[in-house]
Amino acid sequence: MGQKKDLTGSEKSKIVRYLAEGCSSLKIAKLLKRDHRTIKSFIQNSQQGRKKRVEKPRRKITAHELRKVKRAAAKMPLATSLAIFQSCNITGVPKSTRCAILRDMAKVRKAERRPPLNKTHKLKRQDWAKKYLKTDFSKVLWTDEMRVSLDGPDGWARGWIGKGQRAPVRLRRQQGGGGVLVWAGIIKDELVGPFRVEDGVKLNSQSYCQFLEDTFFKQWYRKKSASFKKNMIFMQDNAPSHASKYSTAWLARKGIKEEKLMTWPPCSPDLNPIENLWSIIKCEIYKEGKQYTSLNSVWEAVVAAARNVDGEQIKTLTESMDGRLLSVLAKKGGYIGC
């Protein structure tokens, strides 16, 4: 039996098993037909375990340097810890220490995606807030569309996994597998819809008006009383199919015109409370990284999630409008947190 340099993974597993059965190192060497010194050396090294890492002394950060780091973090959003510390001329600080210091004064967050606001946009948002400041928002129907995909937003399929467990496998599809376009509205404590836009239909002015006729007007609006129709204010954003002359004239023939059709400021998804409803529904249908195999299954999930949204949740959203208008004015037309 010649002495070999390394044991294979299979041999190491057998050694552990034989030791558990009470075999001696000499007997194991005979069973594996390996040199006794090789087996004995492996057992000794395994019993010693890993050497404890010697902690290197960390560079101390002064209070003055901490204040500089805090100011730099505020001026440099989304910068790395290294870039922040380098801007303060603080060197020799390991990454673990930099991150520990920054965690006490900041959070790791993704950049928010919003339409850009220029000076004109901000002025129009302020004018809009002043115009509707005394409006009874319980009479406003807030509407919007939402597209849902089979896989959900990127980055949502993340979460805690126990030690020793494997991460679930996610399906990969070319072009994302398509999606479903959903329209809905909320007024006071009531949810209108949701209604599904027919697959393959691109919403232009004509198809948008026909969709409203077949869903909103026939299935909900016609059932309301004359007094309700007289006081209701219809809100929609400035999407081309909504704000076109064709759509405006069509809604006017339906009695939704002038003060009954709310004007909407540009680039203002943060002012529409139904955007928060979409967030509630998406959190429900994509929880735990759920995926869907067909457009019908994701639509059924949207309907089920919408039914679980109670009137109090909707009322909280619609009653938040007074605060949103005041926030717009306080921020001089800038974006609000909602």
Average pLDDT over residues 232-243: 96
The pLDDT confidence band at residue 174, using thresholds 50, 70 and 90, is low
Residue 284 has pLDDT above 90, yes or no: yes
Phi, psi dihedrals of residue 49, rounded to the nearest 5° = 70, -175
Is 182 exposed, middle or buried (CB count within 10 Å of its CB: 0-12, 13-18, 19+)? Answer: buried
| Residue 250 to residue 285: CA distance in whole angstroms | 35
Closest CA to 278 of 249, 315, 241, 317: 317
Residue 110 has pLDDT above 80, yes or no: no
The pLDDT confidence band at residue 32, using thresholds 50, 70 and 90, is confident
Q: Are strands 190-196 and 179-187 parallel, antiparallel or unpaired?
A: antiparallel
Computed over every residue of the chain, the mean pLDDT equals 88
Q: Which strand (E) or helix (H) includes residue 41? A: helix 36-48
Q: What is the pLDDT of residue 313?
A: 96
| Residue 326 to residue 329: CA distance in whole angstroms | 5
Q: What is the pLDDT of residue 40?
A: 86
The Cα angle at residue 188 between residues 184 and 194, in degrees rounded to 5: 15
pLDDT digits (tens, 9 = 90+) for 79-94: 888 999 999 999 888 8
Residue 217 has pLDDT above 60, yes or no: yes
What residues does 148 pair with on adjacent strands? 180
Q: Are strands 140-149 and 233-235 parallel, antiparallel or unpaired?
A: parallel
| Residue 11 to residue 331: CA distance in whole angstroms | 70
Which residue would you say has higher pLDDT here, 274 or 160?
A: 274
**Cβ–Cβ < 8 Å for 151, 283:** no
| Residue 87 to residue 96: CA distance in whole angstroms | 18
Chain-centre distance for alpha carbon 310: 22
Q: What is the pLDDT of residue 1?
A: 45
Average pLDDT over residues 149-153: 83
Average pLDDT over residues 183-202: 95
Q: Which strand (E) or helix (H) includes residue 56? A: none
What are the angstrom distances between the C-alpha of 259 and each of 133, 135, 173, 232, 291?
A: 14, 11, 47, 10, 43
pLDDT digits (tens, 9 = 90+) for 292-322: 989 999 999 999 999 999 999 999 999 999 9
User: Percent of the chain at pLDDT above 90?
Assistant: 55
**Cβ–Cβ < 8 Å for 318, 189:** yes
| Residue 38 to residue 179: CA distance in whole angstroms | 61
Residue 215 has pLDDT above 50, yes or no: yes
Average pLDDT over residues 39-56: 69
Average pLDDT over residues 195-218: 95
| Residue 98 to residue 113: CA distance in whole angstroms | 28
Strands (E), 153-258: 179-187, 190-196, 233-235
Closest CA to 234 of 316, 247, 246: 247
The pLDDT confidence band at residue 52, using thresholds 50, 70 and 90, is low
Residue 119 has pLDDT above 90, yes or no: yes
Out of 21-25, 120-124, 135-139, 256-260, which region has the weakest mean confidence (pLDDT)? Answer: 21-25
CA atoms within 13 A on the CB side of 124: 12
| Residue 125 to residue 140: CA distance in whole angstroms | 18
The pLDDT confidence band at residue 324, using thresholds 50, 70 and 90, is very high
Residue 256 has pLDDT above 80, yes or no: yes
- pTM higher than the cut 0.75: no
Residue 56 has pLDDT above 70, yes or no: no
Out of 128-132, 147-151, 156-160, 315-319, which region has the weakest mean confidence (pLDDT)? Answer: 156-160
The Cα angle at residue 88 between residues 106 and 62, in degrees rounded to 5: 75
**Cβ–Cβ < 8 Å for 140, 274:** no
Which residue would you say has higher pLDDT here, 105 or 59?
A: 105
**Cβ–Cβ < 8 Å for 288, 161:** no
